[in-house]
Amino acid sequence: MVHSDKLAALLRLQQLVLDSEDISALFTTLVPQILTEILSTGSDYEFLSVVFVDPSNQLRKSHFAEKEGNRIEPVNASNIFSFEGLFQEKTEWVNVLQGHIAVLPNASLIIKPNYDRLPILHSVTVCPIRFVKRVSGIMILGSSRSPEQVTIDELELLQLISYLIGMAFRLEDTQTSITSTTQQIYKMNAQLHQLDKLKDDFVSVASHELRTPLTAIRSYAWMALNRSDVIITEKMKRYLGRTLISTERLINLVNDMLNISRIESGHVEILPQQFDMRDLIKDIIIEVEAKAKERGILVSMIDTPLPKVFADPEKVRQIVMNLVGNALKFTPPSGAIAISFFTDGKTVDTAIKDSGVGISPDDLVRLFKKFGRLDNSYISSATSGGTGLGLYICKTLIDLLHGRIWARSEGVGKGSSFDFSLPIATPDVLANAEKYTIKLGGNAKVLEPVVV
């Protein structure tokens, strides 16, 4: 049974471990303190050493402290021990390697002959230190007393101290692993940032290089298709029409890729102001009117008195053009698109409802993801030519505007409604305008327009 003085010494050592702020340097202070506490209990030892090895029993590190008058001095352990023989399975070490304390009468088994205190040492106590179910180290104490003079109480205390050393070693080993892992993560993160920048640069360069010839092809195809002084066959008209549509799809894809690159790299400014959503919607309806008539689709707005919203009108325009463009793609001829509003005094909700192909309930939750094309549903219509990027861009911009976007549909063939909310320009919102603003100065880039 451990006496109260020994228990108090153990508790002080435990507190030293728990209070240590620099775990990596813990054993530098812990080993001398262990010897000090053992001596304070009345036990007499000349030195104490703690030795750790790796799984192949190769020396990992060691700490040594010896009694020098009334002081405890740290010493280089490699000058004292023959480490090569410490963990060999000799007869004397079998008990230690199996996890038991051994009190050896012959100190010269492990201590070098040139150690000046070797002649006065009459016993060496060796305690195994366990770590992850194996002996990963030993605590060695040299004494001028014979093995018979080492008491059971001492051995019990040393056993408890060895458990504490094992716990401290585990803390140190864990911190070392965490530090190493953190450094690797920082390194990998830096590499990922570099790769991400290379990706952005490649997308930007490739997109610009693609857009120039595509724009030329689209212009020439449109001119050939619409020139009145040149007679072309119906077959040629079909070919030119397909060329024009395919080129527009590629241009939209290039624009979407550029916009995503700019948004995700943080190069998009948000400059909010007060404006009337109805005015913006009216302008967009006028802009898409020709395309809607060409497809036989009626686009209308249900006018309702509204408070002004506080948002970046250019980014809101980008969102609405994407949503109206999608509605036009997925609404058959003679269909209709109705834009309506709702307000609860805090936000203005804008709903763009179409009579198109609709969305299955299972697919609703998959919307607004990058390349979020859905099977047999809204984004996968064969005639749409969608990139799967438009809704993702809308969601990303809405998040930057402190708004919300969602979709509703009763199922395939029953149309759909895409709704988004924006904050009203209340006194509280205006007072916190900086919260809704992102200014980048010279690093800002303008988003490419949506072509319907």
Largest CA distance in the chain: 120
What's the confidence (pLDDT) of residue 378?
45
Report how far residue 351's alpha carbon sits from residue 186's, in angstroms, rounded to the nearest whole number. 44
Which pLDDT belongs to residue 337?
A: 97
> Model confidence over 376-431: pLDDT tens digits?
444 444 445 556 788 999 999 999 999 999 999 998 889 999 999 999 999 999 99
Q: How far apart are CA 138 and CA 54, in angstroms?
A: 12
Query: Tell me, what's the pLDDT at 94?
Result: 54
The token pair that represents 236 in the structure block: 């040629």
The pTM (predicted TM-score) of the whole model is 0.58
Any idea where the domains of the chain sit in the sequence?
4-181, 268-443
Distance of alpha carbon 1 from alpha carbon 220, whole angstroms: 98
The pLDDT, as a whole number, for residue 355 is 94
Half-sphere exposure of 277 (CA within 13 A, CB side): 31
Burial of 51 (0-12, 13-18, 19+ CB in 10 A): buried
Q: How far apart are CA 280 and CA 315, in angstroms?
A: 11
Second CATH level (architecture) for the domain 268-443: 2-Layer Sandwich (3.30)
The CATH fold assigned to 4-181 is Beta-Lactamase (3.30.450)
CB 104 within 8 A of CB 126: yes
Q: What is the mean pLDDT of the chain?
A: 84
- So what's the pLDDT on residue 451? 65
Q: Which residues of the chain register pLDDT less than 50?
A: 91, 375-383
Q: What is the per-residue pLDDT for 381?
A: 43
**Helix, strand, coil content of the chain in percent (nearest 5):** 50, 20, 30
Phi-psi region of 266 (alpha: psi -120 to 50; beta: other; left: phi over 0): left
Q: For position 246, what pLDDT does the model report?
A: 85
